Amino acid sequence: MINVTVSRKNNQITEFELSGHADSGPYGYDLVCAGVSAVSFGAVNAVIALCDIHPEIEQGEEGGYLRVQFPHSLSQEIMEKTQTLLEGMIISLETIEREYSQFIKIHSK
């Protein structure tokens, strides 16, 4: 099971954490894992490239873990752009969760 935890402060996403494995298929053919990875890494790469910020990123060596914490002091314009990209990521992950809820759960804190 992949657990996604999204942390917010003042309705702004401050960090997210993904942990666990979907185990929805054999290694290399796990579509849930591939989808979650593509969505989350794509969103982080988009934030870095389009917003020119560098979040704190922690990854597990064997996969199965990603924590990304975003800087607190951003301009209003950069904060809005970052939040739009992150909310898009959450919507994509929720879409995966709707179809594959036995393999992924999203939590907010």
Average pLDDT of span 61-84: 91
Q: Does the predicted TM-score (pTM) go above 0.75?
A: yes
Between 19 and 28, where is the model more confident? 19
Which of 33, 54, 72, 107 is catalytic? The answer is: 33
Q: Is 33 a catalytic residue?
A: yes
Beta bridge partners of 13: 8
Residue at 98: amino acid letter: R
Which of 21, 54, 72, 107 is catalytic? The answer is: 21
All structural domains of the chain, each given as residue ranges with its CATH number in brackets, are: 2-108 (3.30.70.1490)
Q: Is 107 a catalytic residue?
A: no
Decide: 94 and 106 in contact? Cβ < 8 Å: yes
Average pLDDT of span 53-78: 91
Mean of the per-residue pLDDT values of the chain: 94
Q: Whole-angstrom Cα distance, residue 25 to residue 76?
A: 42
